[in-house]
Amino acid sequence: MKKFTIAASFVAASFAMAMPAQAWQPTKPIEFVVASGPGGGTDNFARIIQSIITKHKLVEQPIVVLNKGGGSGAEAFIYGKGGKGDAHKVVFGTNNAYLLPYVAKLGYKFSDLTPVAALALDEFLIWVNGNSPYNDAKAYIDAVKAKPGSFKMAGSQSKDTDQTLTAMIQDATGAKWIYVPFQGGGAAATQLAGGHVDSNTNNPNENIGQWKAGQVKPLCVFSPVRLAKGEPVHNGKGWGDIPTCKEAGLPLESFQMPRTVWLPAEVPADAVGFYADVMEKVSKTPEWAEFVARTAQTARFMKGKELTDFVAKDEAANAKVFKDEGWVVN
């Protein structure tokens, strides 16, 4: 993990050296267009970046945050499409930027956006109620398999990351849940804490409050390596003590969601460089490190080819699930 960050920053540093002077500079206030409502994961992501940029004065112009969360965030990307060539509109999203057009008829294509950077990977875990008899992922999956279609999995929204992951687990293990879509991760967390559903696949940040109180417990994390150690959260256990799902015996290694930054199509290449540079500086501040640690995400800065490769791979993996589940609209 650490080795990787060093390597990444090394690559990034050599990139920065290759492009000495930034020709493009913002000339008017910059809009941060957020593909979620206020308080959502993407909203926190954009606002923490806004606060870091403001604090360290990384950009001369003021920054205005605009929430466009309609249509699961599609509204923000359509707004980005409308701002073709305008490098003062920065769109914040997740992998929804390139996945949404698969599952819903929307007025934009992935090619209407220019990739800038990704700053972190958000993790997914299997969580069960704190009083549940299952203490490891294998036992839980076996129980679900024994009684197909009677266990309930909560997630946020439909045909989005949570349901995709649920479909992947079902495909890999042969277990079968009833998937119940809620408005957001917060509702899915409370429903699990109240014992109305059997499990959810929330991000660490969405369930941490309930875990602290022992109302829910994590079984395994869909990450190639364990999470950073951090402070103990409940009963002396912390994020680093959660086994990866592979260790727990699940035939599904990794499922992560990138936190991404985009520009509209046809913006000057210098502008892309400018924002990638700003984001890279953000990703190296102590405030960013603190945010990533607190929300138990994995810090990983990507730009340029590394980012497009990641996107292509992630897109292919998700598109396969969408096809198998019959969610593809076009």
Partner 1 sequence: MITRFQAEIGTALATLAFGLVIVNGAREFGIGWDSSGPQPGAFPFYCGLLIALASLGTLVSTVGRRLGGSAALADSFLDREQAKRVISFFLPMLAFIVLSVTLGMYVAMVLYLVFAMRFQGRFGWVPTLATAFGTAAFFYFGLEKFAQVSLLKGPVETMLGL
Partner 2 sequence: MENFASLLHGFEVALTAHHIALMMAGVLLGILVGVLPGLGAPNGVSLMLPLTFTMDPVSAIILLTSLYWGALFGGSTTSVLFNIPGEPSSVATTFDGHPMAKQGRAAEALSFAFLSAGFGAMAGVILITLLSGWVARFALKFSSPEYFAVYFMTFASFVGLGGASPFKTIVSMAMGFAFATIGMDSVSGNVRLTYEFDVLLAGVSFLIAVIGLFGLGELLQTMEEGLRFDGVKAKVRPRDVLLTALKLPRYWFALLRSSIIGIWMGITPGGPTAASFMSYAMAKRSSRNPEKFGKGEPEGVISPETADHAAGSAAMLPMLALGIPGSATAAVMMGGLMIWGLNPGPMLFVERPDFVWGLIASMYLGNVVAVIVVLATVPLFASILRIPFSIIGPAIVVVCFIGAYTVASKEFDIWLALAFGLVGYFFKKLDYPIAPLVLAMVIGDKAEDAFRQSMIFSQGSLSIFWSNPLVGSLMAIALALLLFPLLGSARRGIRKLTTARAAKA
- Which residues contribute to the site for partner 2 (CB under 8 A)? 37-40, 43-44, 47-48, 50-51, 54-55, 65-72, 74-75, 78, 103-107, 152, 157-160, 163, 178-183, 186-187, 189-191, 193-194, 196, 205, 208-210, 212-213, 215, 290, 294-295, 327
Q: Largest Cα–Cα distance of the chain, in whole Å?
A: 63
User: Least distance in Å: CB of 39 to partner 2?
Assistant: 3
Report the residue number, 64 or 213, with the smaller CB distance to partner 1.
Answer: 64
Q: Are 221 and 298 in contact (CB under 8 A)?
A: no
Select 7 or 64, whichever has its Cβ closest to partner 2.
64
Residue 39 near partner 1 by CB under 8 A: no
82 binds partner 1 (CB under 8 A): no
Q: How far is the CB of 273 from partner 1 (least distance, A)?
A: 26
Task: Give whichever of 113 and 302 is closer to partner 2, judged by the CB atom.
Answer: 113
Among 64, 269, 289, 328, binds partner 1 (CB under 8 A): 64
Residue 142 sits at φ, ψ, to 5 deg, of -60, -40
CB of residue 75 to partner 2, shortest distance in Å? 5
Residue 85 binding partner 1, by CB under 8 A: no
Q: Which of 25, 29, 284, 320 binds partner 1 (CB under 8 A)?
A: 29
Which of partner 1, partner 2, none lies near 29, with the C-beta cut-off 5 to 8 A by kind?
partner 1
Nearer to partner 2 among residue 45 and residue 140 (C-beta) = 45
Residues in the chain: 330
Site for partner 1 in 168-187 (CB under 8 A): 178
| Smallest gap from residue 78 Cβ to partner 2 (A) | 5
Q: Cβ 122 to partner 1, closest distance in Å?
A: 28
CB of 6 to partner 1, least distance (A): 39
Q: If contact means CB under 5 to 8 A according to the sort of partner, which of partner 1, partner 2, none does residue 223 touch?
A: none
Residue 77 binding: pick among partner 1, partner 2, none (C-beta 5-8 Å cut-off by kind): none
Answer with the entry of partner 2, partner 1, none that 91 interacts with (C-beta below 5 to 8 A by kind).
none
* Residues facing residue 117 across a β-bridge: 261, 303
HEC secondary structure over 19-46: CCCCCCCCCCCEEEEECCCCCCHHHHHH
SS3 of the chain: the string is CHHHHHHHHHHHHHHHHHCCCCCCCCCCCEEEEECCCCCCHHHHHHHHHHHHHHHHCCCCCCEEEEECCCHHHHHHHHHHHHCCCCCCEEEEECCHHHHHHHHCCCCCCHHHEEEEEEEEEEECEEEEECCCCCCCHHHHHHHHHHCCCCEEEEEECCCCHHHHHHHHHHHHHCCCEEEEEECCHHHHHHHHHCCCCCEECCCHHHHHHHHHCCCEEEEEECCCCCCCCCCEEECCEEHHHCCECCCCCCCCCCCEEEEEEEEECCCCHHHHHHHHHHHHHHHCCHHHHHHHHHCCCEEEEEEHHHHHHHHHHHHHHHHHHHHHHCCCCC
Out of partner 1, partner 2, none, what residue 208 binds, judged by CB under 5 to 8 A for its kind, is partner 2
Residues 6+ apart with CB under 8 A from 14: none
Nearer to partner 2, 64 or 225 (CB): 64
Among partner 2, partner 1, none, partner that 190 touches (CB below 5 to 8 angstroms by kind): partner 2
107 lines the binding site for partner 1 (CB under 8 A): no
Residues found near partner 1 in the complex (CB under 8 A): 29, 62, 64, 178
